């Protein structure tokens, strides 16, 4: 289906100054002590008594572009006819993008099904050929079947007449009440269907149209750790269609913004309508801390607004092993 004409990019707000914060030595030490106390096998001595010798900031930028889209498609549907309005050919039906629909809210997923006006018509039920009833499959349409007590003989032991079928040898089918036919399960006995078009409207803001780009400064901290923390929001812009970021001090972020904005606006306008775009830049603070404990130098990292700590080679760990000795 041709995409709805999308909005054109509008000039974004004036680019701000990018201020890079850093944490203090006291903050780094407190985070390290909290980290050590959360580990059952870690001694708090290195975190408490270690002497910080160096702190280096490796600030990491996370650029995110979100695209909120609306897509529309039509399909045929039907329901048993019970006197509903038949309006096909009364006038031309509206085009899919001419039908009003209410979005659940910006960047909120949603779905709505709308019956397209002037597409409703009647047709006979194919299953029962417009009769409303079908031959009973349990009695092959006869309305009766062999008596289950006398097996169709009409008599039982001693030539006594079968009381169940009164000697007929057959009994009424209890599935169709002896009528030989049953109500059609497809049209529910209505004989006809109302056939009409349904407009499916879908609003999406999902991970498959949300792109993150992380610029890391080779601190040594694994990038997977950064997915679990938040950063300081340096820049946020929401427009019908955004322009790429300009003036950011890290050229990798500028390049990522240019690439993703062009990709989103080129890709999603082909199959849907872009209602809104939102782009943000976060600074995820990463501090590499060197400290000395027992004449040896060790390293740990403090990162994210949550002040998470990563210390792969913590120098004072212990393991409690319970062993059962056979006497």
Within this chain, do residues 301 and 155 fall inside the same structural domain, yes or no? no
Domain count for the chain: 2
225 plus 272 within the same structural domain = yes
Burial class (CB within 10 angstroms; exposed 0-12, middle 13-18, buried 19+) of 10: exposed
Residue 80 located in a structural domain? no
DSSP 233-267: EEEEEEESSPPPP-S-S-HHHHHHHHHHHHHHHHH
Residue 126, domain member (yes or no): no
d(CA 297, CA 247): 39
- Number of Cα atoms under 13 Å in the Cβ half of residue 60: 30
CB neighbours of 190 closer than 8 A, spacing ≥ 6? 80, 81, 82, 125, 132
pLDDT at 322 exceeding the cut of 60: no
Q: Which domain holds residue 173?
A: 133-183
Mean pLDDT of the chain: 86
Q: Are 108 and 75 in contact (CB under 8 A)?
A: no
Strand pairing of 51-57 and 286-293?
Answer: antiparallel
57 and 140 inside one domain: no
Q: Are 208 and 165 within one domain? A: no
Q: Where among 183, 216, 241 does a domain terminate? A: 183
290 and 254: one domain? yes
Q: Residue 294 in contact with residue 309, Cβ under 8 Å?
A: no
Domain annotation covers residue 322 = no
In a domain, 123, yes or no: no
On whether both 148 and 295 belong to a single domain, the answer is no
Domain annotation covers residue 191 = no
The answer to whether the predicted template modeling score (pTM) of the entire model surpasses 0.85 is no
Cα 231 → chain centroid: 24
Classify residue 92 by its DSSP letter: P
Residues 242 and 300 in one domain: yes
What would the DSSP string read from start to end of 111-122? EEEEEPTT--EE
Q: What is the DSSP string of 133-159?
A: EEE-TTTTTSSEEE-TTTTTSSB-GGG
For residues 230 and 175, membership in a common domain is answered with no
The verdict on 151 and 212 lying in the same domain is no
Are 174 and 214 in a shared domain?
Answer: no
- The fraction of the chain above a pLDDT of 90, given in percent, is 52
Judgement on whether residues 208 and 174 belong to the same structural domain of the protein: no
Q: Specify whether 298 is located in the same domain as 257.
A: yes
How far, rounded to the nearest angstrom, does the alpha carbon of residue 101 sit from its chain's CA centroid?
Answer: 21
- Please tell me the predicted confidence (pLDDT) of residue 157: 75
Instruction: Tell the residue number behind the tokens 């092959």, with chain if given.
Output: 140
Does 149 fall in a domain? yes
d(Cα 245, Cα 235) in Å, to the nearest integer?
9
% of residues, the chain, pLDDT over 70: 88
pLDDT in tens, 67-98: 999 999 999 999 999 999 999 989 999 999 99
Quick check: is 108 in a domain? no
User: Has residue 17 been placed in a domain?
Assistant: no
């Amino acid at each position: 289906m041709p995409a709805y004409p999308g909005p054109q990019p509008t000039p974004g707000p004036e680019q701000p100054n990018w201020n890079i914060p850093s944490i203090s030595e006291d903050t780094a030490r407190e985070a390290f002590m909290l980290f050590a106390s959360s580990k059952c096998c870690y001694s708090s001595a290195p975190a408490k008594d270690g002497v910080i010798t160096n702190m280096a900031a490796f600030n990491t930028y996370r650029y995110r572009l979100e695209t909120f889209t609306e897509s529309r498609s039509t399909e045929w549907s039907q329901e048993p006819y019970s006197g509903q309005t038949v309006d096909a050919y009364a006038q031309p039906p509206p085009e899919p993008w001419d039908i009003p629909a209410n979005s659940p809210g910006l960047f909120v997923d949603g779905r709505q099904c709308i019956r397209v006006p002037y597409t409703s018509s009647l047709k006979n039920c194919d299953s029962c050929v417009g009769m409303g009833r079908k031959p009973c499959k349990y009695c092959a349409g006869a309305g009766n079947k062999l008596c289950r007590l006398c097996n169709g003989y009409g008599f039982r032991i001693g030539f006594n007449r079968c009381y169940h079928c009164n000697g007929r040898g057959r009994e009424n089918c209890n599935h169709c009440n002896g009528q030989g036919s049953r109500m059609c399960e497809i049209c529910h006995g209505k004989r006809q269907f109302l056939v009409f078009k349904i407009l499916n409207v879908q609003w999406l803001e999902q991970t498959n149209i949300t792109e993150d780009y992380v610029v890391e400064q080779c601190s040594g901290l694994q990038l997977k750790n950064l997915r679990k923390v938040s950063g300081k929001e340096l820049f946020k812009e929401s427009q019908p269609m955004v322009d790429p970021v300009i003036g950011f001090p890290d050229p990798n972020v500028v390049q990522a913004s240019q690439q993703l904005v062009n990709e989103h606006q080129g890709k999603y306008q082909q199959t849907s309508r872009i209602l809104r775009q939102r782009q943000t830049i976060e600074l995820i603070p990463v501090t590499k801390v060197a400290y000395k404990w027992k004449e040896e130098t060790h390293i740990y990292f403090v990162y994210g607004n949550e002040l998470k700590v990563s210390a792969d080679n913590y120098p004072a760990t212990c393991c409690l092993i319970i062993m059962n000795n056979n006497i």
